[in-house]
Amino acid sequence: MPDLDCAPMDPASAPYEDALESIPRDACATFEYAYMGRLDDAMAPGLVLAAFPGRRKWSQDARVLDAVLANHPSGILPSTSLQQDNGRDPPPTMWTLGLGRTLTDHFAWGSNNVVAVLSHVAIRRPASDAAPLEPLLRDRNSAGTLLVSLPTYLEGGALSVHFNGARTVSDNDHRVCSTYSVTVAHRAATLAMAPIMAGHAVVAVYDLVGDSAMSASTSPISPGVLAAIAMLTTIATAPPTKYPLLGFGIRPSYTFTTFDDLGSGSQERAFVHALVATEMYDVAMVHYLPVPADDDDTGPFVIARAALHPSLGLPSSCALALRGRLVPAFLCSVRVEDLRRSRDYRSTSLVFWHKVHRPIVLGFEAATDALATTPEKPMRRDLVEGLLEHYVDACDAMAATREIS
Protein backbone atom coordinates (compact mmCIF):
# COMPACT_ATOMS: atom_id res chain seq x y z
CA MET A 1 0.00 0.00 0.00
CA PRO A 2 1.47 3.43 -0.90
CA ASP A 3 2.04 6.08 1.73
CA LEU A 4 -1.14 7.74 2.90
CA ASP A 5 -1.67 11.39 2.07
CA CYS A 6 -2.82 12.92 5.35
CA ALA A 7 -2.02 15.65 7.83
CA PRO A 8 0.47 15.21 10.69
CA MET A 9 -1.00 13.40 13.67
CA ASP A 10 -3.22 15.59 15.83
CA PRO A 11 -2.86 14.97 19.60
CA ALA A 12 -6.67 15.10 19.88
CA SER A 13 -7.07 12.13 17.55
CA ALA A 14 -3.80 10.33 18.39
CA PRO A 15 -5.41 7.78 20.77
CA TYR A 16 -7.79 6.70 18.01
CA GLU A 17 -4.90 6.58 15.53
CA ASP A 18 -3.08 4.18 17.86
CA ALA A 19 -6.16 1.98 18.20
CA LEU A 20 -6.58 1.84 14.42
CA GLU A 21 -2.93 1.07 13.81
CA SER A 22 -3.03 -1.82 16.28
CA ILE A 23 -4.94 -3.65 13.54
CA PRO A 24 -2.67 -4.90 10.73
CA ARG A 25 -3.31 -3.35 7.31
CA ASP A 26 -2.15 -6.24 5.21
CA ALA A 27 -2.74 -9.26 7.45
CA CYS A 28 -6.22 -10.66 7.80
CA ALA A 29 -7.66 -8.52 10.59
CA THR A 30 -10.69 -10.61 11.44
CA PHE A 31 -13.72 -10.01 13.57
CA GLU A 32 -15.83 -12.34 11.49
CA TYR A 33 -18.04 -14.27 13.87
CA ALA A 34 -21.16 -13.95 11.68
CA TYR A 35 -22.43 -13.34 8.18
CA MET A 36 -25.99 -12.62 7.04
CA GLY A 37 -27.18 -12.23 3.48
CA ARG A 38 -29.68 -13.17 0.82
CA LEU A 39 -29.47 -16.43 -1.05
CA ASP A 40 -30.46 -16.61 -4.69
CA ASP A 41 -33.25 -19.10 -5.33
CA ALA A 42 -31.07 -20.93 -7.84
CA MET A 43 -28.40 -21.44 -5.17
CA ALA A 44 -30.80 -22.58 -2.40
CA PRO A 45 -30.50 -26.15 -1.07
CA GLY A 46 -33.87 -27.27 -2.49
CA LEU A 47 -35.26 -29.19 0.48
CA VAL A 48 -38.66 -30.86 0.15
CA LEU A 49 -40.71 -32.87 2.63
CA ALA A 50 -40.60 -36.62 2.18
CA ALA A 51 -44.31 -36.73 3.08
CA PHE A 52 -45.16 -34.03 0.49
CA PRO A 53 -42.69 -34.64 -2.37
CA GLY A 54 -44.59 -32.46 -4.84
CA ARG A 55 -44.76 -29.40 -2.57
CA ARG A 56 -41.71 -27.36 -3.52
CA LYS A 57 -43.08 -24.27 -1.75
CA TRP A 58 -44.15 -26.14 1.38
CA SER A 59 -42.57 -23.58 3.71
CA GLN A 60 -45.03 -20.96 2.40
CA ASP A 61 -48.11 -23.13 2.97
CA ALA A 62 -49.48 -22.61 6.49
CA ARG A 63 -51.67 -25.73 6.22
CA VAL A 64 -48.67 -27.94 5.46
CA LEU A 65 -46.68 -26.37 8.29
CA ASP A 66 -49.52 -26.91 10.75
CA ALA A 67 -49.74 -30.55 9.64
CA VAL A 68 -45.98 -30.97 10.13
CA LEU A 69 -46.17 -29.41 13.60
CA ALA A 70 -49.02 -31.74 14.52
CA ASN A 71 -46.62 -34.65 13.93
CA HIS A 72 -43.59 -32.80 15.36
CA PRO A 73 -44.90 -30.55 18.17
CA SER A 74 -41.34 -29.75 19.25
CA GLY A 75 -40.86 -27.88 15.98
CA ILE A 76 -37.87 -30.08 15.18
CA LEU A 77 -38.18 -31.66 11.75
CA PRO A 78 -35.43 -34.31 11.52
CA SER A 79 -33.24 -34.59 8.45
CA THR A 80 -34.76 -38.01 7.74
CA SER A 81 -38.07 -36.25 7.00
CA LEU A 82 -36.48 -34.20 4.22
CA GLN A 83 -34.95 -34.89 0.84
CA GLN A 84 -33.25 -33.00 -1.96
CA ASP A 85 -35.39 -31.87 -4.85
CA ASN A 86 -33.42 -33.53 -7.62
CA GLY A 87 -35.82 -32.24 -10.27
CA ARG A 88 -34.63 -28.67 -9.84
CA ASP A 89 -32.78 -26.75 -12.50
CA PRO A 90 -29.99 -26.07 -11.67
CA PRO A 91 -29.47 -29.20 -9.55
CA PRO A 92 -29.44 -28.77 -5.74
CA THR A 93 -25.70 -29.48 -5.58
CA MET A 94 -25.11 -26.01 -7.03
CA TRP A 95 -25.81 -24.40 -3.66
CA THR A 96 -22.67 -25.92 -2.12
CA LEU A 97 -20.58 -23.92 -4.60
CA GLY A 98 -22.25 -20.70 -3.50
CA LEU A 99 -21.73 -21.61 0.14
CA GLY A 100 -18.05 -22.22 -0.49
CA ARG A 101 -17.65 -18.78 -2.05
CA THR A 102 -19.49 -17.15 0.87
CA LEU A 103 -17.20 -18.80 3.42
CA THR A 104 -14.10 -17.88 1.43
CA ASP A 105 -15.19 -14.26 0.92
CA HIS A 106 -16.31 -13.54 4.47
CA PHE A 107 -14.36 -15.76 6.86
CA ALA A 108 -10.78 -16.57 7.72
CA TRP A 109 -11.69 -18.93 10.55
CA GLY A 110 -12.62 -22.58 10.66
CA SER A 111 -11.42 -25.69 8.94
CA ASN A 112 -10.58 -26.08 5.29
CA ASN A 113 -12.98 -27.83 2.94
CA VAL A 114 -16.01 -27.06 5.09
CA VAL A 115 -19.11 -29.14 4.28
CA ALA A 116 -22.66 -28.28 5.36
CA VAL A 117 -24.33 -31.26 7.06
CA LEU A 118 -28.09 -30.93 7.60
CA SER A 119 -29.05 -31.40 11.24
CA HIS A 120 -32.77 -30.56 11.16
CA VAL A 121 -35.31 -27.93 10.19
CA ALA A 122 -36.55 -25.71 13.01
CA ILE A 123 -40.15 -24.48 12.71
CA ARG A 124 -41.21 -21.72 15.06
CA ARG A 125 -44.47 -19.83 15.47
CA PRO A 126 -46.06 -17.57 18.10
CA ALA A 127 -45.86 -19.10 21.60
CA SER A 128 -43.89 -22.05 20.20
CA ASP A 129 -40.28 -20.99 19.77
CA ALA A 130 -38.22 -23.73 21.40
CA ALA A 131 -36.91 -25.45 18.27
CA PRO A 132 -33.10 -25.12 18.47
CA LEU A 133 -31.15 -22.99 16.01
CA GLU A 134 -27.92 -24.93 16.45
CA PRO A 135 -27.08 -28.49 15.34
CA LEU A 136 -28.59 -31.16 17.58
CA LEU A 137 -25.33 -33.08 17.56
CA ARG A 138 -22.30 -31.01 16.62
CA ASP A 139 -19.38 -32.78 14.93
CA ARG A 140 -15.99 -32.63 16.66
CA ASN A 141 -14.64 -30.95 13.50
CA SER A 142 -17.42 -28.35 13.47
CA ALA A 143 -16.36 -24.83 12.53
CA GLY A 144 -19.75 -23.19 12.96
CA THR A 145 -23.45 -23.17 12.14
CA LEU A 146 -25.28 -22.40 8.91
CA LEU A 147 -28.93 -21.34 8.96
CA VAL A 148 -30.94 -21.18 5.75
CA SER A 149 -34.22 -19.32 6.28
CA LEU A 150 -36.79 -20.68 3.84
CA PRO A 151 -39.41 -18.50 2.11
CA THR A 152 -42.38 -17.98 4.42
CA TYR A 153 -44.82 -15.46 5.83
CA LEU A 154 -43.43 -14.04 9.06
CA GLU A 155 -43.89 -11.10 11.39
CA GLY A 156 -41.07 -10.77 13.90
CA GLY A 157 -38.49 -13.54 14.16
CA ALA A 158 -35.38 -11.48 13.42
CA LEU A 159 -32.28 -13.66 13.73
CA SER A 160 -29.28 -12.46 15.70
CA VAL A 161 -25.75 -13.74 16.31
CA HIS A 162 -23.93 -12.82 19.53
CA PHE A 163 -20.25 -13.02 20.39
CA ASN A 164 -18.33 -11.32 23.23
CA GLY A 165 -20.81 -8.47 23.55
CA ALA A 166 -21.05 -7.91 19.79
CA ARG A 167 -24.25 -8.58 17.89
CA THR A 168 -25.29 -9.00 14.27
CA VAL A 169 -29.03 -8.79 13.55
CA SER A 170 -31.05 -9.63 10.44
CA ASP A 171 -33.55 -7.15 9.02
CA ASN A 172 -36.43 -9.61 8.58
CA ASP A 173 -38.58 -8.39 11.47
CA HIS A 174 -41.76 -7.77 9.43
CA ARG A 175 -42.08 -9.36 6.02
CA VAL A 176 -43.81 -11.53 3.53
CA CYS A 177 -40.67 -13.32 2.42
CA SER A 178 -40.48 -15.08 -0.93
CA THR A 179 -36.70 -15.42 -0.92
CA TYR A 180 -34.07 -17.38 0.96
CA SER A 181 -31.63 -15.86 3.42
CA VAL A 182 -28.52 -17.31 4.99
CA THR A 183 -26.81 -16.86 8.35
CA VAL A 184 -23.36 -18.21 9.17
CA ALA A 185 -22.11 -18.19 12.76
CA HIS A 186 -18.76 -19.10 14.28
CA ARG A 187 -18.87 -22.11 16.57
CA ALA A 188 -18.15 -19.93 19.62
CA ALA A 189 -21.05 -17.58 18.82
CA THR A 190 -24.65 -18.00 19.95
CA LEU A 191 -27.79 -17.70 17.84
CA ALA A 192 -31.15 -16.25 18.86
CA MET A 193 -34.47 -15.33 17.30
CA ALA A 194 -36.79 -12.49 18.29
CA PRO A 195 -40.38 -13.38 19.25
CA ILE A 196 -42.73 -14.21 16.37
CA MET A 197 -45.95 -12.21 16.23
CA ALA A 198 -47.55 -14.03 13.29
CA GLY A 199 -46.77 -16.71 10.74
CA HIS A 200 -43.99 -19.28 10.85
CA ALA A 201 -40.20 -19.20 10.81
CA VAL A 202 -38.78 -22.15 8.86
CA VAL A 203 -35.03 -22.53 9.25
CA ALA A 204 -32.80 -25.31 7.97
CA VAL A 205 -29.99 -25.86 10.49
CA TYR A 206 -26.64 -27.15 9.22
CA ASP A 207 -23.42 -28.09 10.97
CA LEU A 208 -20.39 -26.70 9.12
CA VAL A 209 -17.96 -29.59 9.34
CA GLY A 210 -14.31 -29.20 8.39
CA ASP A 211 -11.51 -31.67 7.84
CA SER A 212 -9.76 -30.96 11.16
CA ALA A 213 -10.81 -30.46 14.76
CA MET A 214 -11.53 -26.96 16.03
CA SER A 215 -11.72 -25.94 19.66
CA ALA A 216 -15.03 -24.45 20.74
CA SER A 217 -13.06 -21.73 22.51
CA THR A 218 -11.19 -20.72 19.35
CA SER A 219 -11.80 -17.03 18.83
CA PRO A 220 -12.66 -15.57 15.42
CA ILE A 221 -11.10 -12.30 16.55
CA SER A 222 -7.47 -11.60 15.68
CA PRO A 223 -5.10 -10.28 18.40
CA GLY A 224 -4.90 -6.88 16.70
CA VAL A 225 -8.66 -6.42 16.90
CA LEU A 226 -8.70 -7.48 20.55
CA ALA A 227 -6.04 -4.84 21.21
CA ALA A 228 -8.09 -2.21 19.38
CA ILE A 229 -11.19 -3.06 21.43
CA ALA A 230 -9.23 -2.69 24.66
CA MET A 231 -7.74 0.65 23.56
CA LEU A 232 -11.07 2.05 22.37
CA THR A 233 -12.70 1.03 25.65
CA THR A 234 -10.00 2.87 27.58
CA ILE A 235 -10.37 5.99 25.41
CA ALA A 236 -14.14 5.91 25.96
CA THR A 237 -13.73 6.50 29.69
CA ALA A 238 -12.56 10.06 28.90
CA PRO A 239 -13.22 10.70 25.19
CA PRO A 240 -11.41 13.63 23.51
CA THR A 241 -13.73 16.59 22.98
CA LYS A 242 -11.91 18.52 20.23
CA TYR A 243 -13.37 16.28 17.51
CA PRO A 244 -16.74 14.82 18.55
CA LEU A 245 -16.96 13.33 15.03
CA LEU A 246 -14.04 11.70 13.19
CA GLY A 247 -13.73 10.12 9.75
CA PHE A 248 -11.64 7.14 8.63
CA GLY A 249 -11.54 4.40 6.06
CA ILE A 250 -12.63 4.02 2.49
CA ARG A 251 -10.69 5.10 -0.58
CA PRO A 252 -12.54 7.43 -2.97
CA SER A 253 -11.90 5.32 -6.07
CA TYR A 254 -14.68 2.90 -5.09
CA THR A 255 -18.38 3.19 -4.43
CA PHE A 256 -19.64 1.67 -1.18
CA THR A 257 -23.26 1.72 -0.10
CA THR A 258 -23.46 -0.79 2.77
CA PHE A 259 -21.13 -2.13 5.43
CA ASP A 260 -21.12 -5.49 3.65
CA ASP A 261 -19.12 -3.78 0.89
CA LEU A 262 -16.12 -3.45 3.21
CA GLY A 263 -13.46 -5.98 2.33
CA SER A 264 -13.33 -9.09 4.51
CA GLY A 265 -10.20 -8.98 6.65
CA SER A 266 -9.61 -5.30 5.88
CA GLN A 267 -8.39 -2.87 8.51
CA GLU A 268 -11.46 -0.68 8.04
CA ARG A 269 -13.94 -3.54 8.50
CA ALA A 270 -12.13 -4.80 11.59
CA PHE A 271 -11.99 -1.29 13.11
CA VAL A 272 -15.74 -0.90 12.57
CA HIS A 273 -16.31 -4.18 14.38
CA ALA A 274 -14.00 -3.08 17.21
CA LEU A 275 -15.89 0.21 17.63
CA VAL A 276 -19.26 -1.54 17.71
CA ALA A 277 -18.01 -4.27 20.06
CA THR A 278 -17.19 -1.72 22.76
CA GLU A 279 -20.88 -0.65 22.75
CA MET A 280 -19.63 2.89 23.40
CA TYR A 281 -19.44 4.28 19.85
CA ASP A 282 -21.75 4.89 16.91
CA VAL A 283 -20.49 4.25 13.37
CA ALA A 284 -21.86 5.38 10.00
CA MET A 285 -20.92 5.15 6.34
CA VAL A 286 -21.30 8.56 4.72
CA HIS A 287 -21.25 10.07 1.24
CA TYR A 288 -20.15 13.68 0.87
CA LEU A 289 -21.47 16.52 -1.20
CA PRO A 290 -19.38 17.10 -4.35
CA VAL A 291 -16.40 19.38 -3.75
CA PRO A 292 -16.85 22.67 -5.65
CA ALA A 293 -14.56 23.15 -8.65
CA ASP A 294 -13.08 26.30 -7.11
CA ASP A 295 -12.34 24.62 -3.78
CA ASP A 296 -8.92 25.61 -2.44
CA ASP A 297 -8.36 22.25 -0.71
CA THR A 298 -9.32 23.70 2.66
CA GLY A 299 -13.12 23.56 2.46
CA PRO A 300 -15.14 21.30 4.77
CA PHE A 301 -16.43 17.84 3.99
CA VAL A 302 -20.23 17.98 4.20
CA ILE A 303 -22.26 14.78 4.62
CA ALA A 304 -24.88 14.29 1.90
CA ARG A 305 -26.31 10.99 3.16
CA ALA A 306 -25.47 8.39 5.75
CA ALA A 307 -26.05 4.73 6.60
CA LEU A 308 -25.74 3.75 10.25
CA HIS A 309 -24.24 0.43 11.25
CA PRO A 310 -27.19 -2.00 11.48
CA SER A 311 -26.03 -3.54 14.77
CA LEU A 312 -26.57 -0.21 16.52
CA GLY A 313 -30.32 -0.40 16.03
CA LEU A 314 -30.58 3.39 15.84
CA PRO A 315 -33.77 4.98 14.44
CA SER A 316 -33.76 6.43 10.93
CA SER A 317 -33.94 9.94 12.37
CA CYS A 318 -30.29 9.58 13.40
CA ALA A 319 -29.15 8.91 9.82
CA LEU A 320 -31.18 11.87 8.60
CA ALA A 321 -29.65 14.06 11.31
CA LEU A 322 -26.18 13.49 9.85
CA ARG A 323 -27.11 15.21 6.58
CA GLY A 324 -25.36 18.55 6.32
CA ARG A 325 -22.95 17.80 9.18
CA LEU A 326 -19.30 18.68 8.73
CA VAL A 327 -16.57 16.10 9.33
CA PRO A 328 -13.80 18.16 10.96
CA ALA A 329 -10.94 15.64 10.85
CA PHE A 330 -9.90 12.22 9.58
CA LEU A 331 -7.67 9.52 10.93
CA CYS A 332 -4.64 8.83 8.78
CA SER A 333 -6.29 5.90 7.01
CA VAL A 334 -8.09 8.37 4.71
CA ARG A 335 -6.41 9.92 1.69
CA VAL A 336 -7.80 13.37 2.34
CA GLU A 337 -6.37 14.92 -0.83
CA ASP A 338 -7.78 12.07 -2.93
CA LEU A 339 -11.17 12.64 -1.38
CA ARG A 340 -11.00 16.26 -2.51
CA ARG A 341 -9.74 15.43 -5.99
CA SER A 342 -12.48 12.87 -6.65
CA ARG A 343 -15.09 15.69 -6.65
CA ASP A 344 -18.05 13.38 -7.15
CA TYR A 345 -20.47 11.11 -5.30
CA ARG A 346 -17.70 8.59 -4.69
CA SER A 347 -16.24 10.78 -1.93
CA THR A 348 -17.04 8.37 0.85
CA SER A 349 -15.71 7.48 4.28
CA LEU A 350 -16.65 5.96 7.58
CA VAL A 351 -17.29 8.20 10.57
CA PHE A 352 -17.65 7.47 14.27
CA TRP A 353 -18.37 9.27 17.52
CA HIS A 354 -18.65 8.43 21.20
CA LYS A 355 -22.27 7.94 22.23
CA VAL A 356 -22.05 10.74 24.80
CA HIS A 357 -21.39 13.10 21.86
CA ARG A 358 -24.71 12.26 20.20
CA PRO A 359 -26.29 15.63 21.11
CA ILE A 360 -23.41 17.41 19.34
CA VAL A 361 -23.24 15.12 16.31
CA LEU A 362 -26.93 14.26 15.83
CA GLY A 363 -28.70 17.11 17.55
CA PHE A 364 -30.84 17.05 20.67
CA GLU A 365 -33.97 15.53 19.12
CA ALA A 366 -32.24 12.62 17.33
CA ALA A 367 -30.04 11.94 20.37
CA THR A 368 -33.18 11.69 22.47
CA ASP A 369 -34.70 9.24 19.97
CA ALA A 370 -31.53 7.12 20.24
CA LEU A 371 -31.88 6.69 24.01
CA ALA A 372 -34.36 3.87 23.48
CA THR A 373 -31.61 1.76 21.86
CA THR A 374 -29.40 1.92 24.98
CA PRO A 375 -31.09 -0.06 27.77
CA GLU A 376 -27.88 -0.61 29.78
CA LYS A 377 -28.06 1.54 32.92
CA PRO A 378 -24.46 2.87 33.19
CA MET A 379 -24.28 3.98 29.55
CA ARG A 380 -27.87 5.21 29.59
CA ARG A 381 -27.09 7.39 32.60
CA ASP A 382 -24.07 8.86 30.81
CA LEU A 383 -26.17 9.61 27.75
CA VAL A 384 -28.88 11.31 29.79
CA GLU A 385 -26.25 13.42 31.56
CA GLY A 386 -24.77 14.33 28.17
CA LEU A 387 -28.18 15.40 26.89
CA LEU A 388 -28.79 17.57 29.95
CA GLU A 389 -25.34 19.14 29.68
CA HIS A 390 -25.90 19.89 26.00
CA TYR A 391 -29.31 21.39 26.78
CA VAL A 392 -27.87 23.62 29.51
CA ASP A 393 -25.05 24.77 27.21
CA ALA A 394 -27.58 25.59 24.48
CA CYS A 395 -29.69 27.58 26.94
CA ASP A 396 -26.63 29.49 28.16
CA ALA A 397 -25.60 30.29 24.58
CA MET A 398 -29.11 31.50 23.77
CA ALA A 399 -29.16 33.69 26.87
CA ALA A 400 -25.77 35.17 26.01
CA THR A 401 -26.97 35.97 22.48
CA ARG A 402 -30.01 37.78 23.84
CA GLU A 403 -27.86 39.86 26.19
CA ILE A 404 -25.61 40.95 23.32
CA SER A 405 -28.56 41.92 21.14
Residue 215 belongs to a domain: no
252 and 286 part of one domain: yes
Highest mean predicted confidence (pLDDT) among 127-136, 252-261, 282-291: 127-136
86 and 194 part of one domain: yes
Q: Which residues in 77-115 are b (16+ Cβ under 10 Å) and which e?
A: bebebbeebeebeeebebbeebbeebbeebbebbbeebb
241 and 181 part of one domain: no
252 and 204 part of one domain: no
The residue from 178, 209, 240 where one domain ends is 209
Share of the chain above pLDDT 90, in %: 22
SS3 content of the chain, % helix, strand, coil (to 5): 30, 25, 40
236 and 200 part of one domain: no
Averaged over 378-388, what is the pLDDT?
61
CATH assignment at residue 134: 2.60.120.1300
Share of the chain above pLDDT 70, in %: 68
Q: Is the pLDDT of residue 110 over 50?
A: no
Tens of pLDDT, residues 220-262: 777 888 899 999 999 998 888 889 999 987 666 555 677 877 7
Range of the domain at 356: 14-30+221-376
Residue 111 pLDDT level (bands cut at 50, 70, 90): very low
Residue 91 belongs to a domain: yes
Q: Model-level pTM?
A: 0.64
144 and 263 part of one domain: no
Strand order in the sheet with 281-288: 246-248, 348-354, 281-288, 301-308, 326-327
22 and 65 part of one domain: no
Sequence-separated (6 or more) residues with CB below 8 Å from residue 250: 256, 262, 268, 285, 334, 348, 349, 350
236 and 323 part of one domain: yes
204 and 120 part of one domain: yes
Residue 230 belongs to a domain: yes
